[in-house]
Amino acid sequence: MNNTKDSRQLREMMRLLERKLGILEESEVACCGITMAQCHALVEVGRAKNISLNELAELLNLKNSTMSRTVNNLVNSELVKRDIDPQDRRYITISLTESGTKIYEGIEESMNLYYKRVYDWIPEDKRGQVMESLQILLEAISKNECCK
Amino acid sequence: MNNTKDSRQLREMMRLLERKLGILEESEVACCGITMAQCHALVEVGRAKNISLNELAELLNLKNSTMSRTVNNLVNSELVKRDIDPQDRRYITISLTESGTKIYEGIEESMNLYYKRVYDWIPEDKRGQVMESLQILLEAISKNECCK
DNA sequence: GAAATATATTTGCATATTACAACTGTTGTG
DNA sequence: CACAACAGTTGTAATATGCAAATATATTTC
């Protein structure tokens, strides 16, 4: 059947997509003077406004020990701050500093501009289809999570 | 206009896609006892059959110094081998060993199976559209590479 | 109310990745 | 033959990664 051929083609396109997105992100973080891992953390903190270390680690699929050290480095660079939760001192609350917010907003802006350019490039009569297709693909991937 | 809203939605879906693919790959490499970077290298070597360090570094968007060390670790684990090109001794030829080939084929097989499951999950009348949409998206991304 | 248990985070340790700069060896050119 | 260019390696240093053990705090049990 043709499904094998098509599914391999699907895989190949996904590989290329991932490759290109990786390159995009690397050029993005090069401008900020932080590392990729720090950038991922900073963006998630920016989006959440306040977040625990545990939650951040979960979002980024990292161990708490790794997360703790990445956050340490961001604190040292004065991009984020750590506060102890007054209600439960086991918890820390991570949030962006003013300079961290600037970097975060810069990343958001340039990524939004980039995706606007990508979107605008898509032929108008194909846009709905592309958006729907991505939705379907995300759902297909979600429903087939690694149950090896 | 609605383009801003749509392009942000596009970005959000791309983020989710990348997140899920990252998780997929991490579960994949966990089974092989190698690291993510080594896995990427191994797969590219497997696909190329023979490749120079320079070409491999370019494919993976890494510096030659980094590539050299990752390849060293794969050589130490006896998964790849390095041979000096007899015609031009500046070059090395990197290829998989027998055990490297086994791991490579295992990865290929499980990834192919995974994408077949994803593909089969997509409603039959939507498959053509999904494939075409990915093609369009890849082209849009290619045409908008980071010219900040 | 004290002890045991659970939870959140940190730290020691070890390995790998990453890139810059400098280096070594080889090939091509004038 | 000397110099330039190319491919790859190595020293150095910073960062990332996770396991195991540790610390501090909160909750549960008796």
CA of A143 to C1' of C15 (A): 35
The proportion of chain B whose per-residue pLDDT surpasses 70, expressed as a percent, equals 97
In a domain, B81, yes or no: yes
3-state secondary structure (DSSP) of residue A143:
coil
Tell me, yes or no, whether A47 and A99 share the same domain.
Answer: yes
Q: How far apart are the CA of B123 and the nearest CA of chain A, in angstroms?
A: 9
Q: How far apart are the CA of A21 and the nearest CA of chain B, in angstroms?
A: 8
Please give chain B's pLDDT, 148 residues, in tens: 678 899 999 999 999 999 999 888 888 888 788 999 999 999 999 999 999 999 999 999 999 999 999 999 999 999 999 999 999 999 999 999 999 999 999 999 999 999 999 999 999 999 999 999 999 999 999 988 765 4
pLDDT at residue A148 in the model: 43
pLDDT at residue B3 in the model: 81
Tell me, yes or no, whether A18 and A61 share the same domain.
Answer: no
Residues A32-83: tens digit of each pLDDT? 889 999 999 999 999 999 999 999 999 999 999 999 999 999 999 999 999 9
pLDDT at residue B1 in the model: 60
pLDDT at residue A48 in the model: 96
In a domain, B72, yes or no: yes
Identity of the amino acid at B87: Q
Q: Which two tokens stand for residue A52?
A: 């625990």
Closest C1' nucleotide to A35's CA: D15
pLDDT at residue B146 in the model: 63
In a domain, A138, yes or no: no
In a domain, A130, yes or no: no
Domain limits at B133? Answer: 17-142
Tell me, yes or no, whether A65 and A93 share the same domain.
Answer: yes
Verify if strand C has an atom below 7 Å from the CB of A71. yes
Residues β-bridged to residue A82 = A94
Q: Which two tokens stand for residue A68?
A: 């703790």
pLDDT at residue A79 in the model: 95
Residue nearest to nucleotide D17 (CA to C1'): A66
For B136, which of A111, A126, A136 is closest by C-beta distance? A126
CATH code at position B126 = 1.10.10.10
Domain count, chain B: 1
pLDDT at residue A1 in the model: 61
pLDDT at residue B77 in the model: 94
Tell me, yes or no, whether A48 and A80 share the same domain.
Answer: yes
Tell me, yes or no, whether A39 and A61 share the same domain.
Answer: yes
Mutate to test the interface with B, among A56, A146, A148 (most CBs of B within 10 A): A146
For the stretch A99-107, contacts whose Cβ atoms lie closer than 8 Å and that sit 24 or more positions apart, written own/partner, are A100/A42, A100/A45, A100/A46, A100/A74, A101/A46, A103/A32, A103/A34, A103/A42, A103/A79, A104/A42, A104/A43, A104/A45, A104/A46, A105/A46, A106/A31, A106/A32, A107/A28, A107/A32, A107/A39, A107/A42, A107/A43
CA of B61 to C1' of C29 (A): 31
Residue of A nearest to B144 (CA): A118
Verify if strand C has an atom below 7 Å from the CB of B125. no
For B129, which of A10, A129, A144 is closest by C-beta distance? A129
pLDDT at residue B29 in the model: 84
Tell me, yes or no, whether A11 and A51 share the same domain.
Answer: no
Q: Which two tokens stand for residue B143?
A: 């045409």
Tell me, yes or no, whether A25 and A61 share the same domain.
Answer: no
CB distance from A36 to chain B under 8 Å? no
In a domain, B2, yes or no: no
Tell me, yes or no, whether A45 and A61 share the same domain.
Answer: yes
ipTM of the complex: 0.89
Nucleotides of C under 7 A from a protein CB: 7-12, 16-22, 25-28
In a domain, A136, yes or no: no
**Cβ pairs bridging A and B (under 8 Å):** 170
CB distance from B133 to chain A under 8 Å? yes
Residue nearest to nucleotide C6 (CA to C1'): A90
In a domain, B10, yes or no: no
In a domain, A66, yes or no: yes
